[in-house]
Every structure is written in C-alpha cells, then in structure tokens.
Structure 1
Amino acid sequence: DNAINYPLSEVATHFAKIDKDQPIVLYCRSGNRSGQAYQFLQAQGFTQIHNAGGLIEMQESK
C-alpha cells in the first residue's frame, strides 16, 4: 500500500527533497535495481532505508 514507483534513473530527482531519516523500503522486480538505489541513497546520507529485494520475495515475506 502507498508504494510509489520511481525509475532508477530518476531516484536522485525524486529523493532530493525527502527527509533523510524517513523510513523507505526499496524493491523492484529482481532486487538488482533496488540494490543500486539503496547504495545511492545510503551514499546521500539516508539512514532509514531497507532493500526488500525482488517484488515476489517481498510479497512472500508478509
């Protein structure tokens, strides 16, 4: 619920004004792009990020 889809190429733009202490869960189809987004956001100083991996993995963990 309340998920927002941002393409990996637009992560820098969309997260530029987001509080760096806000909890964020990242996921994509396979977990690869969410891992890249995680590394980028971590380097930008985000502190409450979690890479949930691939969509199927995330759905199965509910």
Structure 2
Amino acid sequence: MDITVEELKERLEKGESLNFYDVREEHEYEEDNLGAVLIPLGDLPDHLNELEPLKDEEIIIHCRSGARSGKAARFLESQGFSNVRNVVGGILAYREQE
C-alpha cells in the first residue's frame, strides 16, 4: 500500500511517531534526509531482526524516487510484514511539495 508525499508531510509536521525508514545509500542520506532511519536497500535483509517487532505495525519506506522503496516494501511483505507503505515519488516528490 502506498502513501502520498502530502500525507507523509502532514503526519511529520504533526510530529507523529512513525516507523519511518530510508533505503537509499549513506551518501544520499547525508546530502538530504527527512529524519527517517537509514537502512540501505542492500542491507535490509540483515536488519530483519530489529524490524521483527514491527511486523503488524505500519512501516513507511522511502528512497529517492520510489523504486528502491517499492522493492523494499515487497521484500518486507514477503517476510510477513503486513502494513508496509511506500512513499510515492520518494524524496524528490516530497521536496517538490515544499
């Protein structure tokens, strides 16, 4: 299930506590980030144990354009995560909203 950048922005501005992850590479994260926890896509399988408690909770994932986060969402769903949301358009679309 996807989430729009408008909904994400609104929820971040409200200060909601989100399970929010960025699956870009470290150098991209250092250039610009939205405050999400960084887990590069290639490292995601190594972090399943720490994500395990969130299996039934909403998890929001973003990347630069939505492609890598889409892959990450599909991977997590294949591992039994039931409420993974991909940010449509990624950080590029988010920054266009500002």
TM-score, normalised with respect to structure 2? 0.54
Runs of 4+ in 1 over 3 A off after TM superposition: none
Once the two structures are TM-superposed, the CA of residue 55 in structure 1 deviates from its matched residue by 1.1
Structure (1 or 2) with the greater helix fraction: 2
Q: Which runs of 5+ in 2 are unaligned?
A: 1-33
Q: Which runs of 5+ in 1 are unaligned?
A: none
Structure-2 change in CA distance of 1:35 and 1:7 (3 Å): same
- Root-mean-square deviation over aligned CA pairs: 1.9
| Superposed counterparts of 1:13-52, under 5 Å | 13-18=46-51, 19=53, 20-52=55-87
Is the aligned partner of 1:56 residue 2:92? yes
TM-score, normalised with respect to structure 1? 0.80
Identity of aligned residues (%): 37
Count of aligned pairs: 61
